[in-house]
A and B are shown apart, each in its own frame.
Chain A
Amino acid sequence: MKTLLRLMVYVKPSARWVFIAIALMILATILDLIAPWVLSQIFDEGIAKSNMTLVLWLVISLAGLQALKSIGMFIQGYTQELVGQNVVLQLRKELYAHLQRLSFSYYDRAQTGQLMSRMTGDIDSVKNFVGFGAMNLFTGMLTFIGTVIFMMTMQWKVTLISLVTIPLILLVLWRFNRKVGPAWSSIREQMGRLTTTLQENISGIRVVKSFATEGVEQQKFAERNEQSFEMNMNRARLEAKSFPLMGFYGGLTFVLMIGIGAIFVVRDEMSLGTFMAFQWYTWGIIWPLNMLGWQINIMQQAIKAAPRVFEVLDTELDIVTPERAAATDGMKGNVVFDRVSFFFDDQDPKKDKPILDDVSFQVKQGEVIGVLGATGSGKSSLIGLLSRFYDVSSGGLLIDGIDVRQYDLDGLRRSIGIVPQETFLFSASIRDNIAYGFPEATQEQIEAAARKSQIHAFIESMPDGYDTRIGERGVGLSGGQRQRVALARAILMDPPILVLDEATASVDTATESAIHEALLEVMKGRTTFIIAQRLSSIQHADRIIVLERGRLTEQGTHRELNEGDGFFRKLFDRQKQIAQ
């Protein structure tokens, strides 16, 4: 019920359309009830009395009524879908906007396939009910009540006797309603799992092919597919058990009406005309009840699907812009890490080792900081905290003396240009990809950024230049080219803080060297973090910090660190050894 009430909120803006659709439905029902009466008048008053003009007029009015009804039905059919579509549009819009704001911790756990199935399949189920289902449910009941009243006024005894099966039908309906809910719930769940399997397979198709595990994948999908089939058959069995039984009870009403009616006619307690009319009206009783089964089906589907959508919408945003946020205009880029510790959400601070452990250091505006450390030592997490992809577990992280949690979130992130480790490019033109963070950029600005990241010449060499479309994961470009497009993307943002997270790991040394030369100018006046494995990548760093298992173990200039005996020295020696 709570779900239905919440859905009503989404229907409310379309209340006008709902009203029109229902009004038209009532009109059509009334016209349906009048038509048999007009027909009976044609027989009784027209033909029986050989009044051809009356016949003609009645026939014309019959056609007129139908014309009215047809127009009404068209408008009604259109508006009921419009209501459904309005709800879908709004739900999708909210869901999409919300998904974009959910934090990284959410996506660390979420499954793309599940999210997608909610956005499409589940929302569609909701639409079916809101548009088509609910209104038909309403008219069905209206037709039923209207017909019963009509019949009662004509011959109440026969009507009452014929209606004895109604409680039986309601009982079947009630039981169906109770059982079909869980059935739909598992179907929707299963559909989410099927989509997940599918999504993972398509995203990982390169791995699948390189291991030649197509057979295994087919098996995996077949299992999910089979489960989905089974779940649907469970539902079908419920339908098979209920619907024909309801049809039978409805038929019983029909039989009773004829049998009892005939006896009443014989006893002269009912006219033959009424007996005939009752046959017409029986459908007004049986049809809505039979339809009710389907409507309940649609309703239960929506009731089970809607919470899956709401669940995502209700996920609280844990990283948001605070009230009275500090503006980020004119940010200089003085960064202070003050005893920062960090745990992931699913870690237990008492038992598990922190990802970052009591890290403190300061960076002045314009400084270039190299970040070194072994795989998994927490280098990327450091950056994640700076951009507030995650919030610190303890300690403070200040930019220009203000805690990052005080800044306007969008402003903060726009002030930090990141070239991530894993390059994600969007399926759009190269131009759009470079201008991703700054869509208003001019062609000159875009080209300048591309030049600095040493990708301009390559782009120019393509037949369509900057308009060349590239695929979702940047396929069609080599790893190094993708990284350079991502670099241009960050440079174009012109941020006070620049972060290169192994941004040139897939770029050959000569190109890397050229990029760094070009970056010298870009980095001027900007605070820059360079995370790297190769010493050559950090040759221009003013200062280097070394992370080991989440702890900051060394910091200083190249020379200072070289004089020590830590990670840097070892790395340095190893690389020097190779050089010789």
Chain B
Amino acid sequence: MSQVEWDMDNDAEEKPFNMNYMRRMFTYLAPYRKLMTWVVIIVLINMLLSLSEPIILAYIIDKGIMDKKYSVIILLSSVLLGIKLIGWLFGWMHTKWINFTGQRILFDLRQQLFNHLQTLTFRFFDGRPAGKIMSRITNDTNAIGELINGGLITIVMEVTHLVGIVIILFWMDWQLALLSFIMLPLLYFIVAKLRPKIEGSWSRSRSTMSAINGNLNETIQGIRVIQAFSRQETNNEKFNGINNRNKQAFMRAIKLESMVYPLVEMVGMLGTCIVVWYGAIRVIDHAITLGFIMAFINYLWRFWGPLSALSKVYSQLLSAMASAERIFEVLDAEPEVKNSVHARVLPPIRGEVAFDNVSFRYEEHKPDVLHNVSFHVKPGQRVALVGPTGAGKSTIVNLLMRFYDSTGGAVRIDGMDVKEATLDSLRKQMGIVLQDSFIFAGTVEQNMRYGNEEATEEQLIEAGKSVRLDQVVAQLSDGYQTELEERGSKLSVGQRQLLAFGRVLLSDPRILILDEATSSVDTETEQHIQEALQTLLAGRTAFIIAHRLSTIKDADLILVVEDGRIAEQGSHEALMKHGGIYSNLVLTQLSMQESVILQSSS
């Protein structure tokens, strides 16, 4: 695991603008280009109509008012009314379409992120708190959605507006036009100076938000420990720190952002002032008329409005860019375990499992956790993995499930390297009951059917009986239909283990893996399950990780794992005769029981 926490708020102060992210963001528009083309056309027409208003107005003044012709006034007013009516219709269309596009892209982004998360390996999740991952799917995608919803339409509208006005200004008087744009380089200079700072500060604001999310999720998940240890005060302090940092980061971004808009207006006004002053000289020199300069300033005024609006979109864009980077980082995380190009569907498993000199390390530069592990399991055998905690027992079964890929050697099922099988066909045929029994919110039945939707009612009840879940369910108010809350908090840990066990049995796996599946279940229930498994799993291979002797003893093959190596393997009898680690282990356990016996009967 890396020593640097993911998503800490120590991002760089300034960010270089990443054109690739920008381009990538626009690729999400591609599927909607037809609709967007219509939107652009509508907006363009709308813009042209609105630009024609001053001209119509000029006609009203010149031909209507000056010549005192009511008919002209009424006719041209009707034309204006018509323009407004068309504007209404167009407004209705583009509001709907742009919202559709924006929301659809939000949908696409979220779904793509979610789907991608499903392909990522445990290693990705190991180092990243769930809350922080969530923050990217909910908060960060929103920033991009907002840009499209609010920003895109403004860009199209205002840019066309700008272009139109610039053309008109140059057409009217190119010298005056040039003069009015004299301040533009200054604006460019200021914005170029501010941009990296703004983007950096947004990026920082986003990661502090993510830190809040991460902390919050952990607090809720760990609330039982927090209360047990009365950590509330310390946690409040810690949270306040994160909370304050988020506020500071946000306010810094706002401070920079709030500068842009007033600056644009200021520069605009300076340009106008120059034009007014120079224009006044020209008018006094009778080079141009008063009406002309009034119209010119009228248009110029309209030039700075869109620019201010664009400056707001610009801030939105920078904020979305900060989010895009975070989203693409997740999307670019390569799944470490994936179907190889020529992956084949694994045929129905007979149950032969071979580990051939398998070694494994979690990361490139980390030491091996498994060294040359080799063993061979015949179909239908029951294999017990024993050894001290942290010896690598779980790692071995994780490689079998292909939760990780081995770094050396090969894992074979029925002679086929698991790396050549498709993940789906492999995992669908295997069942693993994990140490940590995760229960989904939903009914008991829904949880049971999680791996096998099509199971019949009988199968469901049968599986429930074999793990004694029937007795648990009998005590619940609505039986199998009882709604379980998140993580199954209504059930005790042992009961949850039974449910997780039943869930796997119902999925009818060809190979069953029990990773300390019954550690919190009482011995009697456990024995019952063992007996039920005899018939249920007849002819199927099973791997069992356990500490209780009762669970291990009857296994066909016992693998003693120590320091990532198979130290001993064989049957109970053979190993006991051998007198190595295993027999020691058994003897300790026996002597402990012995002492209990002594205590009880002396």
Contacts and interface: CB of A to CB of B under 8 A. Distances in A.
Contacts of A478: 389-390, 393-394
B550 A575 contact: yes
Contacts of B269: 62-63, 66
Interface in A52-99: 52, 55-56, 59-60, 62-63, 66-67, 69-71, 73-74, 77-78, 81-82, 85-86, 88-89, 92-93, 96-97, 99
B321 to A, nearest CB: 19
Contacts of A222: 111
Contacts of B21: none
A533 interface: yes
Contacts of B60: 258, 262
**In the A-B complex, the 10 residue pairs with the closest CB atoms:** A480-B389, A244-B91, A375-B494, A236-B99, A251-B84, A259-B77, A77-B258, A437-B229, A70-B262, A66-B269
Given A203-B221, A210-B434, A513 B592 contact: yes
Interface in A400-446: 409-411, 413-414, 416, 418, 420-422, 424, 426-427, 436-437, 439
Contact of B114 (A207, A221, A489): A221
Contact of A375 (B93, B220, B525): B525
B457 interface: no
Contacts of A39: 276, 297
Given A107-B489, A208-B118, A481-B389, A509 B585 contact: yes
Given A210-B401, A240-B99, A510-B585, A225 B138 contact: no
B332 interface: no
A237 B122 contact: no
A107 B387 CA distance: 37
Interface in B189-248: 209, 212-214, 216-232, 234-236, 239-240, 243-244, 247
Nearest to B433: A210
A206 B477 contact: no
A202 B128 CA distance: 10
A112 B438 CA distance: 14
Interface string B473-503: 0010100000001110111111101101000
A562 B229 contact: no
A50 B99 contact: no
A266 B547 contact: no
Interface residues of B, number: 184
B581 to A, nearest CB: 10
A56 B284 CA distance: 13
Interface string A498-515: 000010011111111100
Q: Main SS of chain B's interface residues?
A: helix
A400 B507 CA distance: 52
B578 interface: no
Contacts of A248: 84-85, 87-88, 91
Contacts of B93: 240
A456 interface: no
A212 to B, nearest CB: 4
A162 B440 CA distance: 62
Interface residues of A, number: 182
A222 B110 CA distance: 9
B1 A469 contact: yes
Given A210-B434, A427-B5, A508-B387, 5 more contacts: A67-B266, A111-B486, A120-B212, A201-B117, A506-B389
8 contacts: A66-B265, A100-B236, A210-B432, A375-B495, A422-B436, A427-B129, A505-B520, A536-B593
A interface, over-half SS: helix
Contacts of A575: 523, 550, 593
A245 B95 CA distance: 11
A70 B290 CA distance: 29
Interface string A336-362: 000000001000000011000000000
A12 interface: no
Contact of A109 (B485, B494, B520): B485
Interface in A131-163: none
Given A199-B134, A508-B585, A574-B523, A458 B100 contact: no
Nearest to A48: B290
Contacts of A578: 549-550, 553
A351 to B, nearest CB: 8
Contact of B600 (A217, A276, A559): A559
Interface stretch (A178-186, A226-234, A303-311, A519-527): A226-234
Interface stretch (B159-167, B420-428, B532-540): B420-428
Given A533-B523, A559-B599, A211 B236 contact: no
B324 to A, nearest CB: 19
Contacts of B390: 458, 477-478, 480-481
A244 B592 contact: no
Contacts of B138: 117, 120-121, 191, 194-195, 198
Given A100-B223, A410-B230, A508 B114 contact: no
A93 B243 contact: yes
Nearest to B236: A97
A16 interface: no
A47 B277 contact: no
Contact of A426 (B218, B389, B498, B595): B218
Nearest to A480: B389
A96 B212 CA distance: 10
A472 to B, nearest CB: 5
A243 interface: yes
A101 interface: yes
Interface string B312-338: 000000000000000000000000000
A189 interface: no
A219 to B, nearest CB: 10
Contacts of B455: none
B127 to A, nearest CB: 6
Contacts of A218: 111, 114-115, 118
B596 A97 contact: no
Of B119, B137, B265, B276, the most chain A CB neighbours within 10 A belong to B276
A297 B219 CA distance: 33
B212 to A, nearest CB: 7
B80 A574 contact: no
A539 B1 contact: no
B18 interface: no
Among A109, A115, A244, the most chain B Cβ lie within 10 Å of the Cβ of A244
A393 to B, nearest CB: 17
A255 B335 CA distance: 61
Contacts of A318: none
A31 to B, nearest CB: 11
